[in-house]
Structure 1
Amino acid sequence: MVNIGDVIFQIVMLLFVVLFFVSLFLFIRGLRKSQVYRSDALKRIEGKLDKIIENQERQSRN
């Protein structure tokens, strides 16, 4: 005969495993999104620095 406590325990453990993998997936997805955001921000900063350097070179020529 099946004990109801054993069934509940198995269901709870299965839910913990599912919750772990869902959490891991969401964590990795969040890391990737923040990495893309940082990459875009670095590209914008690099473009601004290039403009500043060009302006400095123009001013030093004049």
Structure 2
Amino acid sequence: MLYRLLTGLDDSAFCHKVSAALAQGWTLHEGPVYAFDAAAGVMRCAQAVVKDDHAPYSPEMKLGDQ
């Protein structure tokens, strides 16, 4: 199983990033996490995704290409 943690600002670009991963066969792993970045004054979010069907794991693989 492969694991990725998608992160970004709480905006539509982040939603598109998660949607693109889902379209590539990744599935959500639990719910999103939100945090306020006081230094930048913005909300940030993260969403873990996992994938069972993949090539053999290698530390050099680019998970976004899987």
Q: TM-score, normalised by structure 1?
A: 0.25
Q: Which has the higher contact order (CA 8 A, sep 6+)?
A: 2
